[in-house]
């Protein structure tokens, strides 16, 4: 039986209606395996913990915003009836509190037995420290593998240091965390700001429920916003949301306390309705600076329009695509993937455009470049966009205990963490280390062979 059939009903992405452009990103991350069979040495389990959410879910509640129709999942163990619940997309107060909803069962996930030692960041099945054998139990324990025997790990501003050196994830590994901030189309695109010129709104003809049209010189800008600390029942609607830097807070952990930290590492996935015929200028803004790239419809072989007309030195970061492109700010460099170039890496220096105008704003900005040599200006249609962020590694939920240097890992000691760090019990508490005997298997993704399978196979063949 194929994984896509056996586990179809438990697929979180389908439950939330995640668009295909995100599935493309997850294919690149290796989360889905269209050709994978659940062989006799594999097994399926129902999760009982949310320490790996939102990658995979334990018991949870599904809430629905009456105002914007946004669907939000909440971890069942963190919901507190005494705290108000807000919609993360529009900022309104949820009419039905998550605590009033019945818990839904955890995801049914497949695990295969290991044939070799798993690589760093693999999601593995563990035997519990209390002696429970999760290989035969109806429950299971999942964690992500971060460190190997003999290594000394350190958390510095959300990043991982291994033996004193910054460890850098690949684009595939970054996308595997799947922490989504916003997407288009959606019921209420509250995070998107449209401009034909700076400060001037685009016409309604350019935006509809299914696509965005960018004419030459027009802009599309996204800025991160989150619910403001106001009471929606007594505050004007235009004050429910506020611009904010992206932090490691997550709406799914309603009722859990933490001191938020700013996350710089973001990614953007775009799908065009038709192959692009015009170049696209893309700008990333975070607290470290403003960074720019140029996306061409084909390999640049002659002089093109400069990325920033007002810049003294145009950006040297260039890539080409037809229908799909992904750009990520990841571990001190910029990573890209496109259906023309595959994966590419750029240094921050080669993309740097200037200092941030406002460190409290994280943004993506797309500009359809002007082509003065052409008599007719070419528009481009964007059918889907997804914005996500990387995980932020922290030792504690307290503000004064975020960075930490751990003792070197002993022989046969593996460092494991849950993606949902605020509720995860793991190697940070100095007792939940795994050894080779405790690692029972590796997580298999839920597959969907009908979407992007040819793209995924092409990526894996590179």
pLDDT of residue 16 exceeding 70: no
- The third-level CATH classification (topology) of the domain covering 179-389 is Jelly Rolls (2.60.120)
Range among 159-163, 227-231, 408-412, 443-447 with highest mean pLDDT value: 159-163
pLDDT of residue 138 exceeding 50: no
Residue 264 CB: number of other CB atoms within 10 A? 22
Q: 14 falls in which pLDDT band (50, 70, 90)? A: very low
Per the structure block, which two tokens stand in for 393? Answer: 């590694």
- What does R_g of the chain's alpha carbons equal in angstroms? 22
Q: What is the pLDDT of residue 148?
A: 95
CB 112 within 8 A of CB 444: yes
pLDDT of residue 30 exceeding 50: no
CB 286 within 8 A of CB 264: yes
The pLDDT tens digits for 380-435 are 888 888 888 999 999 998 877 899 999 999 988 899 999 999 988 889 976 667 88
pLDDT of residue 285 exceeding 50: yes
Three-state secondary structure of 50-102: CCCCCCCCCCEEEEECCCCCCEEEEEHHHCCCCCCCECCCCCCECCCCHHHCC
Q: What is the pLDDT of residue 304?
A: 41
Residue in the block written with tokens 């290796």: 30
The helix (run of H) or strand (run of E) holding residue 269 is strand 266-272
**Mean residue pLDDT across the chain:** 76
Give the C-alpha separation, 390 to 393, whole Å: 10
For residue 436, which of 118, 112, 134, 122 has the smallest C-alpha distance? 118
- Concatenating the DSSP letter of every residue in 100-163 gives GSPPBPPPEEEEEE-SSPPPTT-EEEE--TTS--TTTSS--EEEEEEE-TT--EEEETBEEEET
Task: Please tell me the least confidently modeled range out of 29-43, 344-358, 363-377.
Answer: 29-43
> Where do the domains of the chain lie?
3-151+409-461, 179-389
pLDDT of residue 288 exceeding 70: yes
Residue 355 CB: number of other CB atoms within 10 A? 10
Between 50 and 2, residue with greater pLDDT: 50
Level-2 CATH architecture, domain 3-151+409-461 = Ribbon (2.10)
Average pLDDT over residues 99-124: 87
Average pLDDT over residues 56-62: 89
CB 222 within 8 A of CB 284: no
Per the structure block, which two tokens stand in for 234? Answer: 């007594």
Give the C-alpha separation, 278 to 192, whole Å: 22
Average pLDDT over residues 348-353: 88
pLDDT of residue 112 exceeding 70: yes
Average pLDDT over residues 428-452: 65
Average pLDDT over residues 74-91: 89
Task: Please tell me the least confidently modeled range out of 200-214, 297-311, 336-350.
Answer: 297-311
Say how many residues make up the chain. Answer: 462
- Please give the C-alpha separations between residue 236 and each of 90, 229, 239, 241, 451, in angstroms, as whole numbers: 12, 13, 6, 10, 42
Report which DSSP code applies to 210.
Answer: S
Average pLDDT over residues 239-256: 87
Q: What is the pLDDT of residue 175?
A: 85
Q: What is the pLDDT of residue 145?
A: 95
Between 171 and 19, residue with greater pLDDT: 171
Residue in the block written with tokens 């990043």: 159
CB 131 within 8 A of CB 118: no
Task: Please tell me the least confidently modeled range out of 55-59, 96-100, 176-180, 450-454.
Answer: 450-454
For residue 75, which of 45, 104, 97, 96 has the smallest C-alpha distance? 104
Q: What is the pLDDT of residue 400?
A: 79
* 453-461 vs 20-29: helix crossing angle, rounded to 10: 30
Percent helix, strand, coil in the chain, to 5, is: 10, 35, 55
Q: 302 falls in which pLDDT band (50, 70, 90)? A: very low
The pLDDT tens digits for 160-187 are 999 999 999 998 888 887 788 888 776 4
Residues in Cβ contact with 5 at an 8 Å cutoff, skipping those fewer than 6 apart: none
Q: 57 falls in which pLDDT band (50, 70, 90)? A: confident
Q: Report cis status (omega within 30 of 0) of the bond before 54.
A: yes
Average pLDDT over residues 105-126: 86
3-class DSSP assignment, residue 417: strand
Between 304 and 73, residue with greater pLDDT: 73
The helix (run of H) or strand (run of E) holding residue 45 is strand 42-46
Task: Please tell me the least confidently modeled range out of 25-34, 241-250, 251-260, 427-436.
Answer: 25-34
Q: What is the pLDDT of residue 299?
A: 56
**Nearest 5 degrees, angle CA 258-CA 266-CA 318?**
165
Per the structure block, which two tokens stand in for 428? Answer: 């940070």
On the 0-12 / 13-18 / 19+ scale of CB atoms within 10 A, 399 is exposed
Residues in Cβ contact with 220 at an 8 Å cutoff, skipping those fewer than 6 apart: 192, 194, 195, 212, 214, 365, 366, 367, 382
- Domain pair 3-151+409-461 / 179-389, same fold: no
Sheet of 165-166, strands arranged across: 165-166, 159-162, 153-156, 404-405
Q: 150 falls in which pLDDT band (50, 70, 90)? A: very high
Which pTM does this prediction carry?
0.81
Give the C-alpha separation, 413 to 434, whole Å: 6
Task: Please tell me the least confidently modeled range out of 24-28, 83-87, 123-127, 288-292.
Answer: 24-28
pLDDT of residue 296 exceeding 80: yes
């Amino acid at each position: 039986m194929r994984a896509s059939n056996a586990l179809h009903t438990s697929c979180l992405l389908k439950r939330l209606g995640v668009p295909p452009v995100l599935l493309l990103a997850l294919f690149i991350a290796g989360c889905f395996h269209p050709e994978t069979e659940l062989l006799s040495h594999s097994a399926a389990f129902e999760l009982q913990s949310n320490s790996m959410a939102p990658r995979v879910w334990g018991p949870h509640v599904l809430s629905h915003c009456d105002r914007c129709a946004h669907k939000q999942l909440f971890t069942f163990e963190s919901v507190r009836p005494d705290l108000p619940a807000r919609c993360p997309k529009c900022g309104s107060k949820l009419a039905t509190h998550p605590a009033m909803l019945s818990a839904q069962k955890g995801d049914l996930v497949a695990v295969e037995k290991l044939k070799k030692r798993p690589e760093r960041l693999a999601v593995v099945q563990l035997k519990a420290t209390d002696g429970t054998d999760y290989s035969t139990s109806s429950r299971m324990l999942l964690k992500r593998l971060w460190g190997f025997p003999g290594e000394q790990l350190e958390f510095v501003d959300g990043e991982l240091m291994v033996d004193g050196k910054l460890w850098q994830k690949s684009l595939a590994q970054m996308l595997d965390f799947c922490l989504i901030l916003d997407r288009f189309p959606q019921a209420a695109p509250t995070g998107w700001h449209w401009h034909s010129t700076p400060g001037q709104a685009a016409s309604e003809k350019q935006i509809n429920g299914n696509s965005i049209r960018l004419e030459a010189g027009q802009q599309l800008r996204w800025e991160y916003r989150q619910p403001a600390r106001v009471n929606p029942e007594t505050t004007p609607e235009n004050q429910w949301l506020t611009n904010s830097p992206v932090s490691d807070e997550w709406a799914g952990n309603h009722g859990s306390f933490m001191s938020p930290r700013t996350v710089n590492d973001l990614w953007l996935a775009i799908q065009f309705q038709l192959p692009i015929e015009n170049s696209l200028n893309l700008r990333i803004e975070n607290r470290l600076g403003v960074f720019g790239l140029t996306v061409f419809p084909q390999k640049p072989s002659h002089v093109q329009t400069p990325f920033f007309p007002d810049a003294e030195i145009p950006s040297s970061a260039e890539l080409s695509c037809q229908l799909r492109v992904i750009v990520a700010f990841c571990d001190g460099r910029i990573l890209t993937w496109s259906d023309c170039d595959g994966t590419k890496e750029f240094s921050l220096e080669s993309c740097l455009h200037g200092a941030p105008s406002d460190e409290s704003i994280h943004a993506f900005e797309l500009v359809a470049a002007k082509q003065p040599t052409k008599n007719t200006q070419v528009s481009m249609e964007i059918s889907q966009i997804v914005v996500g962020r990387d995980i932020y590694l922290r030792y504690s939920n307290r503000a004064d205990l975020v960075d930490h240097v751990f003792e070197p890992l002993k022989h046969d000691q593996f460092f494991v963490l849950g993606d949902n760090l605020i509720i995860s019990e793991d190697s940070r508490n100095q007792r939940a280390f795994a050894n080779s005997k405790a690692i029972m298997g590796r997580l298999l993704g839920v597959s969907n062979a009908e979407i992007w399978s040819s793209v995924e196979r092409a990526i894996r063949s590179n």
